[in-house]
Amino acid sequence: MNLKEKLKNDAFYSKIWKLVLPIIIQNLLSAAVSSADVVMLNYVGQSSISAVSLASQYASVLFMVFYGLGTGATILCAQYYGKGDMRAIQVVEGIALRFSMLISLAFAALAVFIPEGMMRIFTNDQELITIGASYLRFMSVSYLCWGITEVYLAVLRSVGRVVVSTVMNVLAFSLNVFLNAVFIFGLFGAPRLGAMGVAIATSLSRLIELAACFFVSCYSRDIKLSFRYLFVKNKVLFSDFVRLSLPALGNDIVWSVGFSMYSVIMGHMGTDAVAANSLVVVVRNFGTILCFGMASAGGILLGNIIGENSLEKAQEGARKLMKLTVITGALGGLIILAITPFVLKHAALTDQAMHYLKYMLLINTYYVMGAAVNTTLIAGVFRAGGDSRFGFFCDVFDMWCYAVPLGFIAAFVLRLPVMWVYFLLCTDEFAKWPWVLKHYKSGKWLHNITRENLFSEKMEDVTNKN
């Protein structure tokens, strides 16, 4: 049997492709929106690109927070869906919404009241601070909507309804691109707002996406977006969510804040480095679409299998997922290599920034392989098996004891050239491999975390006592 027939006939491969394709579409659209922002702002000016790139680091951190909360919900919901317990899924959704809404309110308040202070963390260039501050103020609305929609869509994906979540994202992303053009360039009589227009477009599209989620929820039989779930209490599930979600949330925050520190380092090495890096991030996002989609889909499928208590089947599925990850990591590098000539031809940057851009893109052709393997194992396989603590401790050490100090020393103590600093920062993913691969081979990540008789009178009595 050849490889094509094997992939077609194997149930695991068949199921994962049904999950991964809609997720890839979502990731592709997300990357397309980011690239559309950069392409359009390219016609406004290098300062607008740099300011939005730096201000967007807060959205990146917030995304990782929501991703961590969504992961906690997904870990539980995927396994309980495999078990067939829909009531537990509703309770978990309410718990995740409580956390996400509080965090989004905090971010929105900061963006409204102290946006200049938020920008000064990344740069001391007053022009970038002014542009970025106006961007952050208008982004505050999108933060509020985002906290609700991300949790709901994560729950939908965890029970296999990835098509619905994809449609919601298609709506939001399509509107975002259209409204970006309207407000950046002043189309159809709208004011020409430049970087501020990106924030307004994002907030409007997020508002419409939230309204669409409520509309879809009305026609869903079981997985609804309801604020009633916020007030449903189950101490056992809350304890499980905190135990699983907090390490995942901490892991994603540690990683995202650490990754944002890379931008802090680059931001203090000149606007040329910032502008080049902002374009590289967009291209790298395209290169990692397939890899990260595979990690998300694999985590959902493995969670469903583990919830059925088919642990040997889950181990075999993890091995198949790893094979697919290596393939998609290699394809991601080739995608970046293929896009590079197009980017270099059309980027409107200074000569120095173009020099940085060329070599940063080449470095990322192999960097995506490291990211692909680590993301699949830490955020996909390990979390599907109820192990979210390993990734937290791994990234605390890797980012904050290795990569960030290395970057600061290289940039501000040794004063190495920009490209050497960037190269050293891009060794972070490969530094994790020995520990990550060892943990995967040990099998210590595999656990069925569902509980029996969760809503029985006896269990309710236990939760009340706790």
pLDDT by residue (tens digit) across 30-46? 666 656 666 666 666 66
- Reference 108, options 242, 203, 13; nearest CA is 203
Confidence of residue 455 (pLDDT cuts 50, 70, 90): low
Instruction: For residues 395 and 371, give the distance between their C-alpha atoms in angstroms, rounded to a whole number.
Output: 12
User: Does the pLDDT value for residue 414 go beyond 60?
Assistant: yes
Which amino acid, 347? A
Least confident among 135-144, 154-163, 183-192, 267-276 = 183-192
- In single-letter form, the type of residue at position 388 comes to S
Distances (CA, A) of 409 to 121, 265, 335, 364: 18, 10, 32, 22
Average pLDDT over residues 438-442: 92
Give the single-character DSSP code of 284: H
Q: pLDDT tens digit string along 213-249?
A: 888 888 877 788 878 888 878 888 888 888 888 888 7
Burial class (CB in 10 A: 0-12, 13-18, 19+), 9: exposed
**Mean pLDDT computed over every residue of the chain:** 82
Closest CA to 57 of 205, 263, 273: 263
Q: CB-based contacts of 342: which residues, under 8 Å, 6+ apart? A: none
Q: Which two tokens stand for residue 448?
A: 């069925």
Of 138-147, 168-177, 348-357, 377-386, the range with the lowest mean pLDDT is 168-177
**Per-residue pLDDT tens over the stretch 367-403:** 999 989 998 999 889 988 888 889 899 989 998 999 9
Length of the chain: 466
Instruction: Quote the longest CA-to-CA distance of the chain.
Output: 71
Identity of the residue numbered 44: V
Degrees to nearest 5, angle at CA 197 with 193 and 203: 150
- Distance between CA atoms of residues 261 and 298, nearest Å: 29
The terminus-to-terminus CA distance of the chain in angstroms comes to 56
What is the pLDDT, as a whole number, of residue 37? 61
The conformational region for residue 194 under phi > 0 = left, psi -120 to 50 = alpha, else beta, is: left
Neighbours of 64 (CB within 10 A): 21
Contact 257, 57 (CB under 8 A): no
Residue 404's pLDDT is 92
| C-alpha span between 391 and 364 (Å, rounded) | 23
pLDDT tens per residue across span 268-311? 888 888 888 878 887 888 888 888 888 888 888 888 888 888 88
CB atoms under 10 Å from CB of 120, counted, come to 16
pLDDT class of 77 with cuts at 50, 70, 90 = confident
Handedness of CA 371, 19, 34, 117 (dihedral sign): negative
Q: How far is CA 216 from the centre of its chain?
A: 23
pLDDT, one tens digit per residue, over 184-222 is: 777 887 777 777 777 888 888 888 988 988 888 888 777
Q: Residue 452: which residues within 8 A CB-CB, separation 6 or more? A: none
